[in-house]
Amino acid sequence: MTAIKKTDLLIAGVGGQGTLLTGKIIAAAAQEEGYDVKTSETHGMAQRGGSVVIHVRIADRVCAPLVPKGEADFLLAFEKLEALRFLPWLSPEGMVVVNCQEIKPLPVLIGVSTYPEGVAGRLRARSRRVIPVDAAQMEPVRRHPRTANVLLLGILARQLGLPQESWRRAISRSLPPHHHRINQEAFDAGWSFQPARQ
């Protein structure tokens, strides 16, 4: 069992972006290493384009399934506005991995609200460790757009301290066999991603 300290994460996205699945893979990887793990999900609205958030907690012994506000070590956001929405959960020392994708919510589409500007700056104002990623422009996401979540997970995974082999097994356990290869490729691309110097 690799020794990692107690780790709290939030995964935020929009219904249909694979948020639930990403939470499952992280939990499976932690379980592979013998940790206690709890996750908590928002359901029901996920298919209808609403905001979706998953809490994942890893430790020797986890109590509450929800990360208390202000205590998340990591925020993995598949969409910029959702990163901002769940930023209050991040601890002052926490890290953000954020996809550069913008998905306009209905109030913006119909012109009664505007999409927030300067998201990266607002994230940096709270966290010194922000990794922005344009996942859509990276291989293999260009070929398989639906693997963006797993590529971003690969980037986060590198920071978590669990061995690569546990992630490999977690991906196999969490996805149907015909999706293993492309998702493993996407994960590996994230794992070896070099963030631009800020």
Partner 1 sequence: MTSSTTKLMSGNEAIARGAYEAGVIVGTAYPGTPSTEILEQLSRFPGLRAHWAPNEKVALEVGIGASLAGARVLVAMKHVGVNVAADPLMTLSYTGVGGGLLLVSADDPGMHSSQNEQDNRHYARLAKIPLLEPSDSQEARDFVIAGLELSERFDTPVLLRTTTRISHSRSLVKTGVRNEIDRKGFQKDPAKYVMIPGYARRRRPLVEKRLAGLRREAERSPLNRTEGEGTARGFICSGITYQYVKEALPGERILKLGFSYPLPEKMIRDFAATVKEIIVVEELDPFLEEQIRALLPGVPVTGKQLFPAIGELSVNLIRRGTAGEGSVASGDPPETTELPARPPLLCPGCPHRGVFYVLRKLKLTVPGDIGCYTLGALPPLKALHTCICMGSGIGIAVGMERADPAAAASTVAVIGDSTFFHSGITPLVDLVYSGSRTTVLILDNRTTAMTGHQDHPGTGVTLQGATRPPIDIEALCRAVGVRRVFTADPLQLRELESLIKKELTAGEPSVIIAQRPCVLLGRTPSAPLRIDAQKCRDCGLCLALGCPALSRFGDCASIDPLLCNGCGLCSQVCRHGAIGATIPEEGDSN
The nearest distance, CB 180 to partner 1, in angstroms, is 19
Distance CA 180, CA 178 (A): 6
Instruction: Single out the residue of 9, 10, 11, 14 in contact with partner 1 (rule: CB under 8 A).
Output: 14
Restricting to residues 90-119, name those near partner 1 by CB under 8 A. 104-116
Q: Does 121 bind partner 1 (CB under 8 A)?
A: no
Number of shown-chain residues binding partner 1 (CB under 8 A): 51
21 closest CA partner among 166, 156, 193, 171: 171
The nearest distance, CB 197 to partner 1, in angstroms, is 27
Q: Which is nearer to partner 1, 155 or 160 (CB)?
A: 160
Got the DSSP string for 107-145?
A: HHHTTSS-PPS-HHHHHHHH-SEEEEE-GGGSTTTTT-G
Q: Does 34 bind partner 1 (CB under 8 A)?
A: yes
Instruction: Single out the residue of 4, 15, 138, 179 in contact with partner 1 (rule: CB under 8 A).
Output: 15
Region of residue 175 (phi > 0: left; psi between -120 and 50: alpha; otherwise: beta): beta
Q: Does 32 bind partner 1 (CB under 8 A)?
A: yes
> Which sign does the torsion angle of CA 66, 171, 86, 131 carry?
positive
